[in-house]
Amino acid sequence: MDLNELLQQAQRLNNETKMDTEMPRVERTLSQVLQATQEMHSRVTQAGTNDLQAHILMGSRGVDLPKLTQKLESLSARKSFEPLNPLADTDVEGYLKNERENAIIAVIEETNKNIFRNVERIRMWRMFAEWGEEKERLLNALVGPNQEDFPDVHRQMVPTVLPQDALPRSRLNRMEAIYAHEICAYNQSATFQWKLQGHRPNLLTKLTQLAKETLSNLDSQVHEMWSVLSYMANVSPLGRSTDPLKARQTGPQFVQQALAYLEKCYRQYMNTVIQKNRLVGLRGGIPNVYNTVSSFVSITFQQPQSLVGLLDVSHNRPLWALVYYSLRSGDYAAAVQFLKEGGVCPELLKLLQHKQQQQKLQQQQAGHPQQFGDLERPHAKFEGQLKLEYNNKLRVCTDPYKKAVYAIVLACDPQEPHQEVVRTIDDFLWMQLSVLATDERPDYHIERLSYGGLQSLILDKYGENYFNAREKTPLYFQVLVLTGQFESAIEFLARTDANRPHAVHMAIALNELGMLGTPGSVQQPLLSADSDDPAPMRRLNLARLIIMYTKCFEQTDTNEALQYYYLLRNFKSHDGRNLMLSCICDLLVENCDDKLLQLIFGTSDANDPWTFNGGIFTQFPNMAQDKQALASMVGDELSQRTKFELAIKLYFIAGQLEQALRLLCSLLTQVVHQPSRPGSMREQLTAIAERMNHALARRKMDVDEHVLGTYQLLSQLLKFFDYYHAGESRLAAEVLAKHRITPDNCREVDSCVSSLKLIGSDIIKVLPDVLLAAMDLIHGEYQRLKGGNLLQADNDNSSSTISDKEELLQQLRQRAKALTNMAATLPYRMPSDTNNRLVQLEILMH
């Protein structure tokens, strides 16, 4: 082979090794190929030997391991536990299979959820336990053996021995406990004083005095709120048939009370200012409003710049300021005297003198506005002239006090803010109340402010945000009360926990005076508006407020809670029942025990089980007749909740013997066949039955004969099963024979079946156990007799010794046959186990 042939062969091999792809060729030397091979071998032998061997093994068997891995990963067990699709109704086998699998899946799912819930609960419990241990460790680390290092830190000592009669801690704080004690005293004295004097004590006055003497030490603002409410409520008493909201809107007495209160407060303010500035005030002479206003004005206007723009100034004393502060103090006589000394505006002087006469008549005749109509007509001309002067000149007057005096006397221009004179909320409220439109001026058709308009202005237009009610609660409460909006003011107080006790007792006190507007239904919201009421008056749901307040402590302070529920005796629930009884009924249904029953109903008399002495109703003499009605209500509720044992007690207290007997029969049928054990339900029902028997023997009640017969038969069955379980077969057989419950022979089967048809279903439920017990007694006697002993046989006529053993055995077989015949003849479906057992025992006697 020459070199040309060798070159051609090399080119041919080169062309054969070329690939059709566009990948670049990798040119390696032999040493590089050897190095790459060694690296691949070391990598495979170190990391992928097992995988490589698995691939080789599975590949030799024709299995593609990567594809198999993908298929296994795509499998999901969730679809296996989904409910199966239902099949056609005709496929019974498939339907049963699906139902079985669905039941298994449901059990698995429920078990899974329960496991996760238990694990989460245990985890949280353990975490809180660890946190508690850590906190205890840190606290113990703070308080070491040397207490001098931490003098204010004391170790919390936990008693290791608890008292036997541990009582729950009262949920009433000190303030609430004081209120509750006062309510209890009021309830006890109200009925007594009503009988002696014909009227109730004034609860509002008592609570106001309590707030002044006791509660003011706990909260300094409480006395102020009670004082303004008591002052506003100190009006002529309203009749029980009068709607308090309409009477409050139409009568001027509440406006007069508000003005009097604001004027009294301002007189106190002026005296305080004078006491602090005695040298400047120089008050002397008779201590009256005239001298007080003179001193106050001397102190207020002692600087020369304070007199700029004021009119009729004499000796640094502005006349109109003196008149205004006299009116602000509520003394028209002082204003008239100042105006006479000034010698100006004779028309205004005559009008002020007329108002002074009105003020005297109001004080003498207890505020009857109809008495002043004749006094006002002669001054209509003066008023017209003064109003014209006010509109033309005084609107641009530089003396704000003169403009304010004209506006007050003429009761006009309510939109004028009088910013130079009105500096506080009290001043603003007094100014608005002074210019209110009343029935005293029906002849003028000018812009006036009505009482309802002022209330809407305070409640709706300004509202809580304007008065910053959250931080100035007493101020907003006072403004609402002074404008006659008692219900809105109390509801505002009831929103916060700190003021809720005051709100509740304010509402109670006003309601006892007949001055609180309440809705017609107790299901209304706490504050509601009636379409027939004048706007913006609201009605306060006192029943809901008391119940919400009392629910917090009725379980720990039950006696106090019942005293509050007594205040609801005149309200009706949604179903027409007495609301007091409904609330106590709910309390008893939720927390019925012997202690609570004794607290409410008292204890029964040993001689007469129908008489209950003591209890909370002895404190409410006019509610004594409702004790049995309450017991009946509670019994009905408990029976509906299947609490029959407690319901029997309540029916017994209510004197409803028939209801108690019905429930007692239904319970006895469930336990009469059981053996008596200490503390069991059967033992408790046996004690109740003995008490019932004692009651039936002493008093003849109107009880249905059918119910009475059923109960008497069940009472005998109690004795029968007591004898049966005690092994007293002779006494047990006597009970059956005496009352002809089971037949002695086949001839008596029909008569026994006929008598059982007339008995209620309660006896039928016990009959299978009675038949089995009777058959067991016969079989036991048969076994003993067959063993060679002579027994005493029982029959209807007499008991004699039977010497003929075979004759006695035959008699026992006849009695067993009668029992099986009776079980087959009864028109009731007996349990199959009962029939089988009866037949088996009968066969054993042959």
Q: What is the per-residue DSSP string for 270-308?
A: HHHHHHHTHHHH---SS-SHHHHHHHHHHHHT-SGGGGT
Q: Is residue 212 part of a domain?
A: yes
What distance in Å separates the CA atoms of residue 776 and residue 785, rounded to the nearest whole number? 14
Encoding tokens for residue 230?
A: 């008591």
Quick check: 682 and 731 in contact, CB under 8 A? no
Q: Say if residue 700 is in the same domain as residue 831.
A: yes
Encoding tokens for residue 406?
A: 């004209």
Label residue 337 left, alpha or beta by phi (over 0 means left) and psi (-120 to 50 means alpha): alpha
* Secondary structure letter of residue 170 according to DSSP: P
What distance in Å separates the CA atoms of residue 35 and residue 46, rounded to the nearest whole number? 17
What distance in Å separates the CA atoms of residue 591 and residue 558, rounded to the nearest whole number? 11
- The candidate with the shortest Cα–Cα distance to 210, out of 621, 555, 508, 568, is 508
Residue 712 CA to its chain's centroid (Å): 44
Mean pLDDT computed over every residue of the chain: 81
* Secondary structure letter of residue 792 according to DSSP: B
Helices (H), 541-593: 542-550, 558-566, 579-590
Q: Is residue 813 part of a domain?
A: yes
- The candidate with the shortest Cα–Cα distance to 187, out of 174, 198, 205, 203, is 203
Quick check: 332 and 356 in contact, CB under 8 A? yes
Domain termination site, one of 514, 532, 550: 550
Q: How far is CA 695 from CA 368, 396, 575, in A?
A: 65, 93, 33
Beta strands in 569-667 (DSSP E): 603-604, 612-613
What distance in Å separates the CA atoms of residue 534 and residue 450, rounded to the nearest whole number? 12
Helices (H), 143-221: 174-197, 203-210, 216-218
pLDDT of 565: 93
Q: Is residue 331 part of a domain?
A: yes
Q: Say if residue 702 is in the same domain as residue 718.
A: yes
Instruction: Please give the tally of structural domains in the chain.
Output: 4
**How many C-alpha atoms does 474 have within 13 Å on its Cβ side?**
10
What distance in Å separates the CA atoms of residue 682 and residue 761, rounded to the nearest whole number? 20
Q: Is residue 203 part of a domain?
A: yes
Quick check: 434 and 411 in contact, CB under 8 A? yes
Q: Say if residue 284 is in the same domain as residue 412.
A: yes
Quick check: 791 and 781 in contact, CB under 8 A? yes
Could you give the angle at which helices 749-757 and 805-825 cross, rounded to 10 degrees?
A: 40
Helix/strand/coil for 799: coil
Q: Residue for token digits 């009636």?
A: 530
- Return the sign of the alpha-carbon dihedral for residues 502, 185, 205, 512: positive
Encoding tokens for residue 265?
A: 């407060």
What distance in Å separates the CA atoms of residue 749 and residue 318, rounded to the nearest whole number? 119
Non-local (6+) Cβ contacts of 270 within 8 A are: 292, 293, 296, 325, 329
Angle (CA) 549 550 554, round 5°: 150
Q: Say if residue 276 is in the same domain as residue 243.
A: no
Quick check: 763 and 756 in contact, CB under 8 A? yes
The string over 25-36, giving b where at least 16 C-beta atoms fall within 10 Å of a residue's C-beta and e elsewhere, is eeeeeeeeeeee
pLDDT of 413: 82
Write phi, then psi, for 317 (nearest 5 degrees).
Answer: -125, 105
Domain termination site, one of 511, 526, 550: 550
pLDDT of 665: 87
pLDDT of 375: 42
pLDDT of 444: 46
The string over 384-402, giving b where at least 16 C-beta atoms fall within 10 Å of a residue's C-beta and e elsewhere, is eebbeebeeebeeeebbbb
At CB < 8 A and 24+ separation, what contacts does 810-813 make? 812/778, 812/781, 812/782, 812/785, 812/845, 813/782, 813/842, 813/845, 813/846
Q: Is residue 617 part of a domain?
A: no
Q: Say if residue 303 is in the same domain as residue 402.
A: yes
Identify residue 4 by its one-letter amino acid code: N
Quick check: 599 and 558 in contact, CB under 8 A? yes
Q: Say if residue 415 is in the same domain as residue 275.
A: yes
What distance in Å separates the CA atoms of residue 179 and residue 719, rounded to the nearest whole number? 56
Quick check: 711 and 763 in contact, CB under 8 A? no
Q: Residue for token digits 């204010």?
A: 152
Q: Is residue 210 part of a domain?
A: yes
pLDDT of 447: 62
**Could you report how far apart the first and last alpha carbons of the chain are, in Å?**
125
Quick check: 598 and 683 in contact, CB under 8 A? no
pLDDT of 152: 52
pLDDT of 495: 92
Quick check: 648 and 664 in contact, CB under 8 A? yes
Q: Is residue 50 part of a domain?
A: no
Q: Which residue range(s) make up the domain with 115?
A: 96-140
* Secondary structure letter of residue 484 according to DSSP: T
- Return the sign of the alpha-carbon dihedral for residues 186, 191, 194, 196: negative
- The candidate with the shortest Cα–Cα distance to 290, out of 345, 331, 230, is 331
With a cut of 70, list the residues of the chain below it in pLDDT: 1, 17-27, 43-52, 75-89, 142-168, 190-199, 281-285, 362-380, 382, 437-447, 605-611, 621-622, 624-625, 698-702, 760, 788-804
Q: Say if residue 277 is in the same domain as residue 215.
A: no
The answer to pTM > 0.85 is no
Rg (CA), the chain: 49
Q: How far is CA 654 from CA 492, 611, 628, in A?
A: 42, 10, 4
Non-local (6+) Cβ contacts of 467 within 8 A are: 425, 475, 476, 479
Quick check: 240 and 514 in contact, CB under 8 A? yes
Q: Say if residue 198 is in the same domain as residue 136.
A: no
- The candidate with the shortest Cα–Cα distance to 173, out of 162, 181, 165, is 181
Listing DSSP states for 698-744 in one string gives H------HHHHHHHHHHHHHHHHHHHHHHT-HHHHHHHHHHHT-S-S
SS3 content of the chain, % helix, strand, coil (to 5): 65, 0, 30
Q: Say if residue 133 is in the same domain as residue 248.
A: no
Domain termination site, one of 528, 550, 572: 550
pLDDT of 760: 67
Q: Say if residue 367 is in the same domain as residue 248.
A: no
Q: Say if residue 133 is in the same domain as residue 263.
A: no
pLDDT of 609: 58
Encoding tokens for residue 685?
A: 């029902």
What distance in Å separates the CA atoms of residue 585 and residue 582, rounded to the nearest whole number? 5
Would you tell me how many other CB atoms lie within 10 Å of the CB of residue 183?
20
pLDDT of 801: 45
Q: Say if residue 288 is in the same domain as residue 351.
A: yes
What distance in Å separates the CA atoms of residue 509 and residue 202, rounded to the nearest whole number? 8
Non-local (6+) Cβ contacts of 684 within 8 A are: 645
pLDDT of 373: 41
Q: Is residue 577 part of a domain?
A: no
Helix/strand/coil for 158: coil
Encoding tokens for residue 56?
A: 């080789």
